Amino acid sequence: MTVAQRPWWKDAVVYQIYPASFKDSNGDGIGDLNGIMSELDYIHSIGVDVIWICPMYDSPQVDMGYDIRDYEDVYAPYGTLQDMEKLIEETHSRGMRIILDLVVNHTSDQARATTTHLATFHIPSPGSVPINSKSLLTFCKANKSRSSKDNPKRDWYIWRPARYVNGERRPPNNWAGNFTGSAWQWEFVINFPNEEGDADKSTSPQTEEYYLHLFCPEQPDLNWENPETRRAIYKSAMEFWLERGVDGFRVDTVNMYSKGEMLDAPVTDPSSEWQFAGYEYCNGPRMTEFLGEMNEILEKYDAMSVGECPNTPDMKRVLQYVSAREKQLNMVFQFDVVDIGQGPYKFSTTPHNYILPQFKHAVATTQSLHSAPSDGWTTVFLENHDQSRSISRFTSDLPQHRVAGGKLLALMMCALSGTLFIYQGQELGMINFPQSWDMSEYKDVDSSNYYKMIGERTNYDAGALERAKTSLQHLARDHARVPMSWSTERYNGFSPADSEAEPWMRALPDAQECNAARQLSDKDSVLAFWKRMVRVRKEHKDLLIHGDYQDLDVDDLELFVFKKSWQGKRAVVVCNFNKEGKALEWKGVQGEGKMELLMSSVDEVVEGELKAFEGRIYLCG
């Protein structure tokens, strides 16, 4: 592909925004669309080409908006549909594009019938209203998927009968959900009231089957095998927004739509009845068909797609997803790098439980997706709304190291090939919240479920719970979801200083050292360095964005040295991941000619020596 033929999204820098935590414009303690609009110039000044908005759709917020009630409306605390249309317009007016999260593996269990009639799923649980209540009658009459086995909307979700073991009712298989526990929810019997509100005259019992939810019970999985369901998804969740000017989607759980035969997963955790099943429900037999249908729509709008692609260790399969010839996805997020150091459960680990060669191998795996003869593309990221902060994970968040660590990671990322993704606050060097915060500060359902599971399994052993909290302090998603630090004003400038409402999550205590206002005027800040590195990346885009990657010293435990090559041009990148200075050794660099320093993450470069957490890029001549 010639330079002139490159699609726009390949050279792009994408900035991810988590609406609840970005900026609160009206003082209710929750970030909103007007808050995002107020900082578009700040985002643009970094060198950003695309903003990615995490789910802003109408939602009960069981899983922070990834449980969508109405794809064609906006969560009221964030704003209105008109606010969203204005945000699209304001983004475009600055020469940037905008993409949204596309969450279509599942909906909320309160999913509303929209203009395209997505299935209504929810009914109240027994006891939530009196059984003879007219309101319950009205609600039940609107029910679709749950109401009966022969309802036209029944097949919009995934239902299965129970299986019986020694006469005891059990779920259809042994799959564990992503947030612990079984992936199946039993639907109890409830007698619907008749028109007069008399329950005993009802002739419509509940269906007594299980429904599948790979995430929370309030997030039932959609049945992609049903063509009517797929058509509704394309119309309501995709075309509705593409017609309003959205430039593409980050596609949530993109490889889970085709579930295959749904057989039992292998037993990898004998202490649990529920087993990891990611290799069973990901990458099923109809994924190519489903993604091909989605791509046909996206191509009509010249829209980009980046899929979240977990549980796919076979890189040949990943390449099928991102191959230009296959016409499925433009690129995917592989989790090789951010999964480094995790245990059998995501959180069951100790901090920094990995060695640098493992990190380098993970980087090499994702970089291989676009190297010749591949016709695929890749992504570069270390943070998102599902990850803790990269400085805390991969370098050091101690006061004497956090700035150097942030700059090192910025240099490394900007020198890797693929589309670059920056998560809000990453450009400031924001870090995990303190160990001193107790469990009440962890708001994420994933964190609370894990802590509860450890408690139940260990009879609430104090040592086990302390180890669980240590793991969460290192890896929990909550760390990325605290409010942005904009200034040293009250609430770190996230909410107006005179707001009566506290932010929905506690603001970080380190705003004196790390905030946007201060860094905007500091040429030595992490923010200033990110801006310089983005400019360097774009000035040398053939080499740094599109060049082939080669690891030059896989086994070194402290130095990460790699080469980039593109049509005779070459660069060598060296990154010191040591807390101490280190001699600069050119292992694996032979015949590269004169080495001209292009960029260093420190101001004063010492010949032959790297400072703690220093990174450099050399052009080879």
The residue count of the chain comes to 621
Give residue 124's pLDDT.
37
Exactly one of 209, 247, 252, 280 is catalytic; which is it? 252
Look up tokens 């027994």; give the residue: 126
Residue 469's Cβ-count burial label (10 Å; 0-12, 13-18, 19+) is buried
pLDDT at 362: 97
Give the confidence band of 83 by pLDDT, cuts at 50, 70, 90.
Answer: very high
Query: Distance between CA 105 and CA 97 in Å, rounded?
Result: 25
The answer to the question of residue 171 being in a domain is no
Q: What 3 state SS string does 288-318 have?
A: HHHHHHHHHHHHHCCCEEEEECCCCCCHHHH
Give the mean model confidence (pLDDT) for residues 116-138: 36
pLDDT of 147 > 90? The answer is: no
Quick one: 402 and 511 in the same domain? yes
- pLDDT-based confidence at residue 151 (cuts at 50, 70, 90): low
Distance in angstroms (rounded) separating the CA atoms of residues 376 and 368 = 9
Reduced 3-state DSSP string for 470-486? HHHHHHCHHHHCCCCCC
DSSP codes of every residue in 204-271 = ------EEE-SS-TTSPBB-TT-HHHHHHHIIIIIIHHHTTT--EEEETTTT-S--TT-PPPP-S-TT
Based on the domain organization, do 285 and 422 belong to the same domain?
A: yes
What is the side-by-side strand order in the sheet with 379-380? 331-333, 304-308, 248-251, 97-102, 50-53, 13-17, 419-423, 379-380
CB 390 within 8 A of CB 538: no
Of the candidates 270, 306, 280, 469, the one whose C-alpha atom is nearest the C-alpha of residue 380 is 306
- Domain final residue, candidates 528, 560, 592: 528
Q: Which residues lie closer than 8 Å to 502 by C-beta, 6 or more apart?
A: 29, 491
pLDDT in tens, 505-540: 999 999 999 999 999 999 999 999 999 999 999 999
Instruction: Please give the Cα distance from 139 to 151 (Å, whole number).
Output: 16
> Which residue has better confidence, 206 or 553?
553
pLDDT bin (cut points 50, 70, 90) of residue 376 is very high
Q: How many C-beta atoms lie closer than 10 Å to residue 125's C-beta?
A: 9
- What is the reported pLDDT for 374? 85
- Does residue 489 lie in a domain region? yes
Q: Which of 101, 308, 383, 446 is catalytic?
A: 308
Could you give the 3-state DSSP secondary structure of residue 597? strand
415 shares its domain with 552: no
Report yes or no: 503 and 24 within 8 Å, Cβ to Cβ: yes
**Which CATH number belongs to the domain containing residue 556 in this structure?**
2.60.40.1180
| Distance between CA atoms of residues 258 and 254, nearest Å | 10
Pair (420, 554) in one structural domain? no
**Degrees (nearest 5) of the Cα angle 313, 319, 320?**
110
Could you tell me if 506 and 567 lie in one domain? no
Phi, psi of 600 (to 5 degrees): -130, 155
Judge whether residue 560 has pLDDT over 90.
yes
Please state, in angstroms and rounded to a whole number, the distance separating the CA atoms of residues 81 and 72. 8
Residues 380, 428: one domain? yes
Give bridge partners of residue 619 from the DSSP assignment. Answer: 571, 596
In a domain, 175, yes or no: no
Question: Has residue 199 got a pLDDT over 50?
Answer: no
Residue 146 pLDDT class (50, 70, 90 cuts)? low
What is the enclosing helix (H) or strand (E) of 464?
helix 462-475
User: DSSP of 72-110, one letter per residue?
Assistant: EEE-GGG--HHHHHHHHHHHHHTT-EEEEEE--SB--TT
Q: Which of 11-15, 23-27, 137-141 has the lowest mean pLDDT?
A: 137-141
203 within some domain = no
Mean pLDDT of 220-238: 96
Quick check: 66 and 218 in contact, CB under 8 A?
no
CA-to-CA separations, 471 to 351, 359, 361, 446, in angstroms, rounded: 7, 19, 23, 13
Average pLDDT over residues 258-284: 96
**Is 144 part of a structural domain of the chain?**
no
* Short-list 83, 199, 67, CA closest to 132: 199
Residue-by-residue DSSP string for 512-581: TTS-HHHHHT-TTSHHHHHHHHHHHHHHTHHHHTTSEEEES-TT-SSEEEEEEEETTEEEEEEEE-SSS-
Distances (CA, A) of 539 to 482, 535, 542, 592: 34, 6, 9, 21
| 445 domain-assigned | no
pLDDT of res. 5: 78
Same structural domain, 566 and 485: no
Burial class of residue 348, CB neighbours in 10 A (0-12, 13-18, 19+): middle
Residue 575 domain boundaries: 548-620
DSSP string for 368-436: GGGSTT-----EE-S--TTS--HHHHHS--STTTHHHHHHHHHHHHHTSSSEEEEETTGGGT--PPPTT
Both 482 and 378 in one domain: the answer is: yes
Number of domains observed in the structure of the chain: 2
CB 175 within 8 A of CB 207: no
Q: Are residues 488 and 371 in the same domain?
A: yes
Q: Residue 11 sits in a domain of what CATH number? A: 3.20.20.80
Residue 316 has pLDDT above 90, yes or no: yes
pLDDT tens sequence across 410-467? 999 999 999 999 999 999 999 999 999 999 999 999 999 999 999 999 999 999 999 9
Domain end position, chosen among 468, 498, 528 = 528
Same-domain check for residues 422 and 303: yes
Cβ atoms of 551 and 545 within 8 Å: the answer is: no
- Secondary structure of residue 363 in the 3-state scheme: helix
Say whether both 523 and 562 belong to one domain.
no
* Whether residue 556 lies in the annotated active site: no
pTM equals 0.92
Closest CA to 178 of 119, 252, 250: 252
Angle between helical axes of 402-414 and 526-539 (0-180°, round to 10): 10
- Residue 397, domain member (yes or no): yes
Q: DSSP 3-state assignment of 357?
A: helix
Q: Rounded to an integer, what distance in angstroms lies between the CA atom of residue 566 and that of residue 159?
A: 52
Bridge-partner residues for 548, per DSSP?
Answer: 565
Please state whether beta strands 615-620 and 595-600 pair in parallel, antiparallel, or not at all (unpaired).
antiparallel
Q: What is the C-alpha to C-alpha distance for residues 163 and 516, in angstroms, rounded to an integer?
A: 56
∠ Cα 475 477 481 (to 5°): 130
298 in any annotated domain: yes
Q: How confident is the model at residue 141 (pLDDT cuts 50, 70, 90)?
A: very low
pLDDT digits (tens, 9 = 90+) for 6-24: 999 999 999 999 999 999 9
Mark whether 225 is an active-site residue: no
Q: Are residues 417 and 566 in the same domain?
A: no
Tokens of 223: 């049945």
pLDDT at 595 over 80: yes
Residue 135 has pLDDT above 60, yes or no: no
